[in-house]
A and B are shown apart, each in its own frame.
Chain A
Amino acid sequence: MNHSTLIIKANNQPTVMERLMQVTRYRGFSINKLNMQKLSDKDLEIIMSVDSRNPIENLSRQLLKLVDVVDISISNS
Chain B
Amino acid sequence: MLELNAVQNNTALDQDSGSQTDEVKELMNKQQLTGAQIVMQVLQQQGVDSIFGYPGGAIMPIYDALYDSDIKHYLCRHEQGVAFAAVGYARAGRKTAVCMATSGPGATNLITGLADAYADSIPLVAITGQVPTTAMGTDSFQEVDIISLAMAATKHCFQVTCVDDLQSVLEQAFAIAGSGRQGPVLVDIPKDIQLASTLLTAKTELAITPIPQFSQATMAIAKTLISEASKPVLYVGGGVGMAGAVEELRAFAQTTGMPSVSTLKGLGAVDPECDCFLGMLGMHGLKAANLAVQECDLLVAVGARFDDRVTGKLAEFAPHAKVIHLDIDVAEINKRRCADAALIGDLKTMLPELMTDLKIVAWRKHCTSMKLDYAYDYNYPGEDIYAPAVLKALSDVTPKTAILTTDVGQHQMWATQHMVFSRPENFLSSGAIGTMGFGLPAAIGAQISRPDALVITVTGDGSIMMNIQELATLKRYQIPVKIVLIDNSRLGMVRQWQELFFSERYSEIDLSDNPDFVALAAAFEIKSQRITKKSEVEAALTEMMSHQGPYLLQISIDEYHNVWPLVPPDTANHEMIEASS
Residues of A within 8 A of B (CB): 14-15, 18-19, 22, 26, 55, 57-58, 61-62, 64-67
CA distance A26 to B118 in the complex (A): 15
Among A18, A61, A64, max chain B CB count under 10 A is at A61
Q: Which residues of A contact B148 (CB under 8 A)?
A: 18
CA distance A58 to B329 in the complex (A): 12
Q: B330 within 8 Å of A by Cβ? A: yes
Q: Which residues of A contact B176 (CB under 8 A)?
A: 67
Q: Which residues of A contact B156 (CB under 8 A)?
A: 66-67
CA distance A61 to B330 in the complex (A): 7
Q: B159 within 8 Å of A by Cβ? A: yes
Q: Is the CB of A18 within 8 A of B151?
A: yes
Q: Which residues of B contact A14 (CB under 8 A)?
A: 159
Q: Given A18-B148, A58-B335, A67–B155 Cβ distance below 8 Å?
A: yes
Name the CB-closest residue of A to B155: A67
Shortest CB distance B61–A (Å): 23
| Complex partner residue of B331 from A15, A18, A61, CB under 8 angstroms | A61
Q: Which residues of A contact B147 (CB under 8 A)?
A: 15
Known: A55-B334, A65-B329, A67-B156. 20 other contacts (CB 8 A): A14-B159, A15-B151, A15-B157, A18-B148, A18-B151, A19-B151, A22-B151, A26-B152, A57-B334, A58-B331, A58-B334, A58-B335, A61-B330, A61-B331, A61-B333, A62-B331, A64-B331, A65-B181, A65-B331, A67-B176
Offer 13 A-B interface pairs, CB within 8 angstroms, sorted by A: A15-B147, A15-B151, A15-B159, A18-B148, A18-B151, A22-B151, A58-B331, A58-B334, A58-B335, A62-B331, A65-B181, A65-B331, A67-B155
CA distance A18 to B181 in the complex (A): 22
Shortest CB distance B172–A (Å): 8
Name the CB-closest residue of B to A58: B335
Q: Which residues of A contact B335 (CB under 8 A)?
A: 58
C-beta contact mask, B160-193 vs A, less than 8 Å → 1, else 0? 0000000000000000100001000000000000
Name the CB-closest residue of B to A54: B335
Q: Is the interface of A mostly helix, strand, loop or mixed?
A: helix
Shortest CB distance A74–B (Å): 14
Shortest CB distance B168–A (Å): 13
Interface residues on B, range: 10 to 19
Q: Which residues of B contact A66 (CB under 8 A)?
A: 156
Q: Which residues of B contact A19 (CB under 8 A)?
A: 151
Name the CB-closest residue of B to A25: B152
Q: Is the interface of B mostly helix, strand, loop or mixed?
A: mixed
Shortest CB distance B267–A (Å): 26
CA distance A14 to B188 in the complex (A): 13
- Of residues 13 through 30 on chain B, the ones whose CB sits less than 8 Å from some CB of chain A are none
CA distance A26 to B153 in the complex (A): 12
Q: Which residues of B contact A22 (CB under 8 A)?
A: 151-152
Shortest CB distance A69–B (Å): 11
C-beta contact mask, B139-151 vs A, less than 8 Å → 1, else 0? 0000000011001
Shortest CB distance A7–B (Å): 19
Q: Which residues of A contact B334 (CB under 8 A)?
A: 55, 57-58
Shortest CB distance A65–B (Å): 6
CA distance A66 to B209 in the complex (A): 12
CA distance A63 to B575 in the complex (A): 37
Name the CB-closest residue of B to A65: B331
Shortest CB distance B136–A (Å): 11
Q: Which residues of A contact B329 (CB under 8 A)?
A: 65
CA distance A14 to B334 in the complex (A): 32
Shortest CB distance B127–A (Å): 17
- Of residues 319 through 375 on chain B, the ones whose CB sits less than 8 Å from some CB of chain A are 329-331, 333-335
**The 6 residue pairs across chains A and B that have the minimum distance between CB atoms:** A61-B331, A67-B156, A62-B331, A61-B330, A19-B151, A22-B151
Shortest CB distance A58–B (Å): 6
Name the CB-closest residue of A to B329: A65
CA distance A64 to B330 in the complex (A): 10
Shortest CB distance B189–A (Å): 15
Among B148, B331, B334, max chain A CB count under 10 A is at B331
Q: Which residues of A contact B159 (CB under 8 A)?
A: 14-15
Shortest CB distance A27–B (Å): 9
Shortest CB distance A60–B (Å): 9
Q: Which residues of A contact B157 (CB under 8 A)?
A: 15
CA distance A64 to B333 in the complex (A): 14
CA distance A58 to B151 in the complex (A): 19
Shortest CB distance A1–B (Å): 19
Shortest CB distance B215–A (Å): 16
CA distance A64 to B344 in the complex (A): 15
Shortest CB distance A36–B (Å): 17
CA distance A61 to B334 in the complex (A): 11
CA distance A58 to B148 in the complex (A): 23
Q: Which residues of B contact A58 (CB under 8 A)?
A: 331, 334-335
